[in-house]
């Protein structure tokens, strides 16, 4: 949840879609002189939803991703139906927004109510028409989806399977350059920036004083006990008093150390430098992503 990958990369990796960048060439994209860019005043932030970083403009917004999932779901079902599988259980599920910033903004009021989760973690996020309980795959369904067999029920399976076929209808043309790759490189730079390291040290000291032994500001929010990592739906993990208490200490220590403000200032500075150096390629990649979403919206209805 807390790694800053764009939603489109989440879809590409978790769904195994074709046409995604993932390994796009970003050689020469990151300045190698090791300099730390000057920072500007951080914008006023009151919620994670308000955090807009320079590279976000070239990524697919999280709120649009359910449309892509619904379109893929619909096409996979259409393909399976043509093979005589009319009640599948393994088709692409609609997923909630995940957030894609390394260090999420913690609002005290939200933490008091939801801990490290978000409101959408506690409500159904799939459209009723696509919501499926934990249901086993139909006979031949998995093979038809991944294309591991040539035919099902005497009918030819599309090359690569129904999942690949569905992806090809939407995730094309391929993404040659991906802003998410730049975001990953920025994360690496931000993590070793002297200003962020200093603020992180202050945060660690503050948390230690409250009885916690976290070594990284991302660790508390990504703790498996809260259901933020590891198997299962976050809604399967009950919200506990301990999670809320930890979150509130985290909020206080972020304020005392200035961690979030420093992180945001530094992150913005690195991203602005990359955007300036790669604007033409970023604009073209966003055009491709927008084309994918237009096709997804047409299919999803």
**Mean pLDDT in order along the chain per 10 residues (301 residues):** 36 45 50 80 86 92 84 93 87 58 86 83 50 65 94 96 96 92 92 97 98 93 66 65 95 96 96 95 96 96 85
**Distance between CA atoms of residues 269 and 53, nearest Å:** 10
Contacts of 89 (CB under 8 A, 6+ apart): 132, 135, 136, 137, 138, 141
92: helix, strand or coil: coil
Structural domain includes residue 29: no
| Cα separations in angstroms, 177 against 9, 11, 58, 283 | 12, 16, 11, 10
Q: DSSP string covering 20-34, please?
A: --SS---TT-S--S-
Q: What is the pLDDT of residue 20?
A: 56
Instruction: Say what the pLDDT of residue 27 is.
Output: 45
Instruction: Tell me, yes or no, whether 201 lies in a domain.
Output: yes
Asked whether residue 25 is assigned to any structural domain, the reply reads no
Residue 4 DSSP SS3: coil
CB 25 within 8 A of CB 177: yes
For residue 82, what pLDDT is reported?
96
- Whether residue 2 is contained in a domain is answered as no
Q: In this structure, is residue 147 part of a structural domain?
A: yes
Domain that holds residue 56: 7-19+37-300
Closest CA to 157 of 73, 91, 81, 69: 81
The alpha helices in the chain, defined as continuous H runs, are: 7-15, 65-82, 108-114, 141-146, 161-170, 179-192, 194-209, 241-257, 259-300
Rounded to two decimals, the pTM is 0.80
Task: Supply 52's token pair.
Answer: 């807009």
Q: How far apart are CA 151 and CA 13, in angstroms?
A: 26
Confirm whether 31 is domain-assigned.
no
Query: Are 81 and 152 contacting, i.e. CB atoms less than 8 angstroms apart?
Result: no
Number of domains making up the chain: 1
Neighbours of 25 (CB within 10 A): 12
CB 5 within 8 A of CB 184: yes
Q: What is the predicted pLDDT for the residue at 95?
A: 57
Which residues in 88-101 are b (16+ Cβ under 10 Å) and which e?
bebbbebbbbbbbb
In-domain check, residue 26: no
Q: What pLDDT sits at residue 301?
A: 85
Backbone angles phi, psi at 152, to 5 degrees: -135, 130
In a domain, 292, yes or no: yes
Q: Which two tokens stand for residue 51?
A: 């955090």
């Amino acid at each position: 949840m807390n790694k800053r990958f764009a939603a489109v990369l989440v879809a590409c990796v978790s769904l195994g879609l074709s046409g995604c960048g993932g390994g796009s060439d970003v050689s020469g994209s990151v300045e190698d002189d090791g300099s730390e860019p000057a920072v500007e005043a951080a914008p006023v932030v009151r919620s994670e939803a308000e955090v807009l970083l320079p590279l976000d403009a070239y990524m697919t917004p999280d709120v649009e991703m359910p449309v892509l999932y619904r379109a893929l779901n619909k096409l996979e079902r259409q393909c399976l139906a043509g093979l005589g599988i009319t009640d599948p259980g393994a088709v692409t599920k609609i997923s909630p927004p995940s957030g894609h910033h390394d260090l999420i903004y913690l609002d005290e009021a939200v933490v008091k109510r939801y801990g490290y989760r978000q409101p959408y973690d506690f409500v159904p996020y799939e459209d009723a028409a696509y919501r499926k309980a934990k249901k086993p795959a139909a006979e031949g369904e998995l093979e038809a989806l991944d294309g591991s067999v040539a035919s099902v029920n005497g009918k030819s399976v599309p090359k690569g399977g129904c999942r690949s076929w569905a992806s090809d209808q939407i995730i094309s043309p391929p993404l040659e350059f991906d802003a998410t790759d730049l975001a990953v490189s920025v994360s690496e730079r931000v993590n070793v920036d002297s200003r962020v390291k200093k603020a992180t040290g202050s945060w660690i000291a503050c948390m230690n004083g409250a009885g916690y032994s976290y070594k990284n500001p991302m660790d508390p929010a990504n703790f498996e006990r809260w259901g933020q990592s590891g198997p299962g739906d976050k809604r399967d993990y009950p919200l506990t008093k301990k999670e809320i208490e930890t979150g509130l200490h985290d909020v206080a220590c972020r304020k005392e150390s200035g961690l979030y403000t420093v992180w945001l200032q530094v992150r913005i500075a690195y991203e602005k430098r990359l955007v300036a150096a790669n604007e033409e390629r970023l604009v073209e990649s966003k055009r491709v992503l927008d084309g994918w979403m237009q096709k997804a919206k047409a299919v999803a209805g």
